[in-house]
């Protein structure tokens, strides 16, 4: 569905620092672009969504816990951002254990992309 010369999608999954000094915030974004007749790119509205899930380990007890955000109801958007701020700074994320999952396009031609958070 996405030809690099006409339409493009940008997927981002990254840490976004702390929230109120207590929580760690992780963000997954999906942005859609369409090429204009003059060669520039503009944001393009299509069905898109993103989700974050993974395993977080508590530093004190070491028990892994599964965290994640649900997919929202699909509708036409230019961009979509999914944010997780559920766990305290006393928890630890192991590299490669948190993932951003992105989907773009209508149900028949849906494009999925997963991006691991590694450092």
**φ, ψ for residue 57 (rounded to 5)?**
-110, 130
| Look-up of token digits 């700074």 | 89
3-state secondary structure of 107: helix
Residue 105 CA to residue 86 CA, distance in Å, equals: 29
86-111 per-position pLDDT tens digit: 666 667 777 778 888 888 877 767 77
**φ, ψ for residue 107 (rounded to 5)?**
-55, -40
Q: What is the mean pLDDT of residues 48-71?
A: 78
Is the overall model pTM greater than 0.85, yes or no?
no
2-33 per-position pLDDT tens digit: 556 777 777 777 776 666 666 677 788 888 88
Domain ranges of the chain: 7-109
* Local confidence band at 83 (pLDDT 50, 70, 90 cut-offs): confident
């Amino acid at each position: 569905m996405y030809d690099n010369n006409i339409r493009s999608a940008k997927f981002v999954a990254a840490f976004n620092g702390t929230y109120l000094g207590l929580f760690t915030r992780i963000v997954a974004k999906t942005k859609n672009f369409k090429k204009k007749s003059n060669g520039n790119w503009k944001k393009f509205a299509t069905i898109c969504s993103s989700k974050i899930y993974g395993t977080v380990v508590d530093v004190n007890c070491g028990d892994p816990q599964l965290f994640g955000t649900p997919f929202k109801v699909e509708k036409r958007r230019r961009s979509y951002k999914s944010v997780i701020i559920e766990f305290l700074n006393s928890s630890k994320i192991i590299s490669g254990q948190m993932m951003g999952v992105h989907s773009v396009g209508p149900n028949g031609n849906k494009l999925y992309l997963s991006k691991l958070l590694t450092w």
